Each structure stands twice: as structure tokens, then as C-alpha cells.
Amino acid sequence: MITGTGTTASPAEVATPPVRATSLLRRSLRLWRTRIGVLLVGVLVLLAIIGPYVAPYGPSTPVGVPNSGPGGKAVLGTDYLGQDVLTRFLYGGRSILATALIATAIGLIVGVAIGLIAAYSRNALDDVLMRIMDVILAFPQIMFALVAVAVVGPQAWVIVLAIALTTVPRAARVARGAALPVVERDFVACSEAMGVPRWRIVLGDLLPNTLGPLMVEASLRTTYSISVIAALAYLGLSPNPNSPNWGTMIQQNQIVLATQPWGAVMPIIAIALLTMGTGLIGDGIARTAAGIDRARSAE
């Protein structure tokens, strides 16, 4: 799992296919990998949403002897406090998914705005913005979040802000890379000659023509946000230490892996399937965008 910029090379190099986002998504669904990815993400999001309603017990209700194996009242056994593993598993996806989605959305919106403005400015502003991005990029994502938590504390907004802030430069780089060739196109010069305001050129001309790489980046960033947030909880840095949360569950039940593995195995499977799902969707969109591109250049 790379939280750095290890993959910026690929989406940024995908030249911009001027297709509508919806049609790109529809086309990418012709690929099996995208379908499997959508299915995995769909199932897990559904699980996170309806899980708490179908859970047999309360998340902090002791139902039996701590660390007992599956059977009896607890289908998947109990954890180190005697709480029902299945219940906590059903509750545990919400906070991770919600935090990851909010943080990624903020980071992407700000980052894409900065990237597009930098690409369109064509002056010193570009350099200044991208050098500021370099400063944030010098911190690995997880380390930045850790330092933020060390300074302020493990509140939810700190984690959201830290993940959003570290998403910004990565999204900005991709957006800038994708927008640079678009800025030179004739229709941008045409809009400028017609006196279209600069912000409308950024939103109306640049953004639609960079959506392909940006959608790939969005799914990539979601994957990373999920794993960093789960990792923070796993490191014992979630807003509430006993809240049911997949990352926290793994940490709490790791010691008894040999005797009662379910408390750690279930959240591990969930996180693995979720990140694999978002990864597959991203790859599907990237392949589709590259395919459309090849077809166009062959024409």
C-alpha cells in the first residue's frame, strides 16, 4: 500500500480523453474487474450502512466469557472484553468509511482546484503552488497524520483534516499534469477570446477534459484514505478507543490470534475486500480511459 506518490506516473501520463464522466463509467463497467470492484465496494458499503440495524447485540454489551470461540450466543465468538465479535464487526465499518469518504472528498476538491489553477495560471503562481505542494508531499501520509494527532489529539476532525491535507498535493499533481496539455488547446484560447471569465474556463473547459485521470485518482485516493484511517485506528489512535471500528478490532484481538482469530480475521477480510474493490474500480477506469485514447489516436 503506497501512501506516497508512487503511482502518479501512470494516471498523469494517461492523456486526457475528452469523454463525459458518465460514459466513461458506463464503458468501464464492460470490464469484469470494474464489475467485481463495484460489487465488492457495494456489498461492504451496504454492510457498513445496515450492519448496526441487524446486529444481534449492542456494540459494548458483554455477552459471554472474553475470547471464547464461536458457538452458543456469539456466532463468531467474543472479544477480549466478552463483547460479541459479529456485532462489533457489523458496527465497525461506518466510522472508517465515513471518515475516509469525507476526507478524500475534501482533499480531492481542494487538490484538483489547486492543480487546475496552477496549470492554467502559466506564471509564477504555478511554481509557488506546486512548491507548497512539495512541502506537504515530503511527509508520508501516515506520518503527517501521526504528527497532527500528536500535536492536537486523536479527534475525528484532526484525522479528517490530516488525510484531506495530505490528499491535496497528490490530487493537485495529477490534475495539473492532466490539465497542462488541455490549457494549450484551441478551445481554451477560443473561450478566452470570447471573454469567458477565467473561473468558468477552469470549471467548464479544463475540468471536464481532465475527468478521466481525475476519476482514476479519486478511486486511488479513496483506497489510500481507507487504509491510512484503518491503520491509525489500528495504531490505537481513533477518536474513541473502545468504539467498534475495524482497525481498533484488529489491534484489540491481535494478541489472541492463535486461540480466537475471528475478532481480527473478520475486519481484516472486510478492509482487504474494500480496498481491493476500490483498487479494481480505479484500474478499470484507467484501462477504459487508455483504451478510448488508443482508439482515438488510431482513427
Least distance to another protein from the beta carbon of 158, Å?
Answer: 12
C-alpha pair distances (Å), 191 with each of 126, 198, 223: 21, 9, 36
Q: Cβ(68)–Cβ(260) under 8 Å?
A: yes
Q: What x-and-dash track marks residues 96-135 binding another protein by CB under 8 A?
A: -------------------------------x---xx-xx
Q: What is the DSSP letter of 65?
A: S
- Rounded to whole angstroms, the Cα distance separating 279 from 232 reads 20
Identify the residue among 28, 68, 141, 252 touching another protein (CB under 8 A): 141
150 scored as a contact of another protein (CB under 8 A): yes
Nearer to another protein, 149 or 214 (CB): 149
* DSSP classification of residue 260: -
Contacts of 135 (CB under 8 A, 6+ apart): none
CA distances from 144 to 101, 108, 149, 172 (A): 18, 17, 9, 18
Would you count residue 265 as binding another protein (CB under 8 A)? yes
Q: Residue 139 CB, nearest distance to another protein (Å)? A: 6
Nearer to another protein, 200 or 294 (CB): 294
290 binds another protein (CB under 8 A): no
Q: Considering the complex, state which of residue 63 and residue 270 has its C-beta at the smaller distance from another protein.
A: 270
Q: How far apart are CA 224 and CA 20, in angstroms?
A: 26
Tell me the site size for another protein, rule CB under 8 A.
54
Q: Are 135 and 196 in contact (CB under 8 A)?
A: no
Q: Which residues bind another protein (CB under 8 A)?
A: 1-7, 9-10, 33, 127, 131-132, 134-135, 137-143, 146-151, 223, 226-228, 230-231, 234-237, 250, 254, 257-258, 261, 264-265, 268, 271-272, 275-276, 278-280, 283
